[in-house]
Structures are given as structure tokens and as C-alpha cells.
């Protein structure tokens, strides 16, 4: 089951976006989507039946002008978006995730995630979190770790809450999509390697973030973040040229219609360029890879209300559209 998108106009910023779609009982295909909710099948338009969004991104500098021309060509065959199923817009080879990148969110998590044996008062732990963030910003040390592509699901698909996940939580995030191989790029040139942006909801089981059996090891991101479907992605990739300023985008997550997260990317400790540059110092970023940039304040741990069966999450980011996913509890075996 999936939660279908509500009508919206326009769907996103700019003249077009990239999506991965399928007709009923048909294969997935790459599509150019227009803001008025129409679709151009890029296999037909570009004459390549094997085409995918990943292959488009692998040749992004050459492909982008052709996509601009298609968006402007009123004679190209277009069909209504409503006729198709929307999938995650890209299948990345690598997912780089960022933690502790929104100031208020870090403070809230520092208080909510009390480490084993830490009995200090809340005020002291809040002050400690602020001091840590100031030091990290000065030393230019983002916190980046690796996620699994197998955790990605579509923007309107159901999300299964595993029976073992006792505290599943939401984390709406801006995701940068890489368009050129990037290794050891500077902050100043980092955005040249970003093809576009999309929406990610980086779900986390708070109960398994820390290894209680081995507190000296620290966090367990494999267990807490990488269950199948724990990263709803999309609905589309909006080219970076259509997003004027990633430093002031509004992220809003609603749970069953009630606003839980509502924050600007202004609250980021490290902006997109610094995140991409930092990740590239250790790894080689590839076309189609994702760099998730962290989540703002307002997760379930803050509200004392975590995800459960039947919940519907609606996440939107300025210029990028909206994703809607329903939570379905896995039956305990």
C-alpha cells in the first residue's frame, strides 16, 4: 500500500525534475517531470531503452542541457503523472549520512540520549552539547557515517516498522545528489559536484542507537538506521540550478497532520558544501550517491511520541516537493 500525493501546484522549483516511475505492471523508467505534473519518458525522448536516472547522473554535465531543451519543447509527448507510480528517484551506490548537524537538534538529542551511567542534570548536558558544537564548527569536523542503499524506499511507499524496533523515530533531511566523481574537493568547489537535491527521511530506532552491551564501542548505526525501507527518498531530484540557496530552505515534517519538525537549513552547523567536501576527503563520491545533511529539531524523542502502526508522515522541503509514507508494524514472530 502507498499513500498517494495530494495535488500541488507547482510540484517543485524550476522547470523540471528527474524521477523514476513505472506504469501499472510495467518496468521502472527515468522521467522528466514538469511542475504541472506531466511526464516525459526519457527512454523514448533520448533514444535509449536501457536508460536510468543513475546513468543520466553518470553523464550529468552532458545530459543537463538536453534535459533543459526537453523541458522547453512543447512538442514532446507528455502524460499525466497520476498515471504512474513514483519510486525512489535514484539507486545510489553509496549513502553518506550526517549526524548532529542542526544546533537545536543536537542539544535535544544530547539530553534525550543519556549515555549509560550519565546522571548529570539536563542543564549541564545541554551546555556540554553547545560547547561540543562550537568546537566542531571551529575545527571543521562534520560527523559523517555510511548508510545502506538497501534501506531506501519510495516517497509514497509504506514503511515497515520492524518488530524489534522499540523506539522508531523520524528525521527529515535535505539530501544532495552527486553528479560528478568527487575526491578531495575543496569547500569552494564542492557544489559543482552536486547535480541536484531531494528529500530523505532517515528513520532511526532510538532504542538501538547505543550498544548497551558494549558502551565503550558507541553507536550502532547498522542496527538503528538500516532496516529495509528506513530511508524514504524523493519524490524527485530537483537540479541544483533550480535551488537558489540551500542555506535557507524550510524543512517541515507532519505526523498525522500535526507539525513536528519545522526548521530552516540556517540552523545547520555545516552547510551542504562543507558536508560534501568533508565526505570527499576520505571517500570517492560517485554519480548518484547521496549526501544526507542531518535533521533539525523536533523528532519523536523530543516530543515523547515515537512512530507506531498507522502513522502517516508527510515531509516537505522548500522547492523539492512532498513525500508521504504510512507506517506499518511488522508482526512479531
Residue 154, exposed/middle/buried by CB under 10 A (0-12, 13-18, 19+)? buried
CB of 204 within 8 A of CB of 224? yes
pLDDT digits (tens, 9 = 90+) for 57-79: 999 999 999 999 999 998 899 99
- Check: CB of residue 288 under 8 Å from CB of residue 176: no
The cell for 252 is 517541515
Domains in the chain and their CATH numbers?
17-87 (no CATH), 95-329 (3.90.850.10)
Secondary structure of residue 40 in the 3-state scheme: strand
pLDDT exceeds 70 at position 7: no
Q: Please state the pTM of the whole predicted model.
A: 0.91
Secondary structure class of 200 (helix, strand, coil)? strand
163 and 329 Cβ atoms separated by less than 8 Å = yes
User: CA–CA separation, 86 vs 66, rounded Å?
Assistant: 23
Give per-residue pLDDT as tens, 133-164: 788 778 878 999 999 999 999 999 999 999 99
* Residue 49: other Cβ atoms inside 10 A: 9
User: 213 pLDDT band (50/70/90 cuts)?
Assistant: confident
Predicted local distance difference test score (pLDDT) of residue 332: 56
278 touches 89 (CB < 8 A): no
pLDDT higher than threshold 90 for residue 212:
no
288 secondary structure, DSSP code: T
Q: What is the pLDDT of residues 99-127, one digit of tens each?
A: 889 988 777 776 776 667 777 888 888 88
What are 243-267's pLDDT values in tens digits? Answer: 989 999 999 999 999 999 999 999 9
Using DSSP's 3-state secondary structure scheme, residue 169 falls into strand
Measured CA to CA, the distance from residue 235 to residue 248 in angstroms comes to: 20
Neighbours of 195 (CB within 10 A): 25
Identify whether the C-beta of residue 294 lies closer than 8 Å to the C-beta of residue 100: yes
Amino acid at each position: 500500500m502507498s499513500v498517494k500525493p495530494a495535488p500541488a501546484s507547482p510540484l517543485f522549483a524550476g522547470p523540471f525534475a528527474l524521477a523514476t516511475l513505472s506504469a501499472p505492471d510495467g518496468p521502472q523508467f527515468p522521467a522528466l517531470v514538469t511542475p504541472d505534473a506531466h511526464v516525459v519518458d526519457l527512454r523514448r525522448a533520448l533514444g535509449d531503452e536501457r536508460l536510468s536516472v543513475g546513468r543520466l547522473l553518470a553523464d550529468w554535465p552532458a545530459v543537463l542541457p538536453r534535459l533543459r531543451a526537453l523541458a522547453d519543447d512543447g512538442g514532446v509527448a507528455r502524460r499525466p503523472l497520476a498515471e504512474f507510480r513514483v519510486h525512489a528517484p535514484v539507486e545510489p551506490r553509496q549513502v553518506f549520512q550526517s549526524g548532529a548537524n542542526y544546533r537545536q537538534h543536537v542539544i535535544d538529542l544530547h539530553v534525550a540520549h543519556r549515555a549509560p551511567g550519565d546522571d548529570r542534570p539536563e542543564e549541564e548536558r545541554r551546555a556540554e552539547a553547545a560547547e561540543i558544537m562550537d568546537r566542531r564548527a571551529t575545527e571543521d569536523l562534520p560527523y559523517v557515517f555510511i548508510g545502506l542503499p538497501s534501506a531506501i524506499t519510495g516517497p509514497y511507499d509504506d514503511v515497515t516498522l520492524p518488530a524489534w524496533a522499540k523506539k522508531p523515530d523520524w528525521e527529515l533531511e535535505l539530501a544532495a545528489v552527486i553528479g560528478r566523481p568527487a575526491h578531495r574537493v575543496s569547500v569552494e568547489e564542492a557544489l559543482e559536484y552536486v547535480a541536484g537535491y531531494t528529500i530523505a527521511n532517515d528513520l532511526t530506532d532510538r532504542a538501538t542507537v547505543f550498544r548497551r552491551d558494549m558502551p565503550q564501542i558507541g553507536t550502532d548505526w547498522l542496527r538503528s538506521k538500516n532496516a529495509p525501507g528506513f530511508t524514504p527518498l524523493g519524490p524527485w531530484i530537483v537540479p541544483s540550478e533550480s535551488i537558489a540557496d540551500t542555506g535557507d530552505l524550510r524543512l517541515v515534517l507532519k505526523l498525522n497532520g500535526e507539525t513536528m519538525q519545522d526548521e530552516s537549513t540556517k540552523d545547520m552547523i555545516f552547510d551542504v558544501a562543507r558536508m560534501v567536501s568533508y565526505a570527499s576527503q576520505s571517500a570517492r563520491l560517485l554519480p548518484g550517491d547521496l549526501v544526507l545533511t542531518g535533521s533539525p529539531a523536533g523528532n519523536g524523542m523530543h516530543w515523547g511520541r515515537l512512530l507506531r502502526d498507522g502513522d502517516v508522515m508527510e515531509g516537505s522541503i522548500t522547492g523539492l516537493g512532498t513525500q508521504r509514507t504510512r507506517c506499518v508494524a511488522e508482526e512479531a514472530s
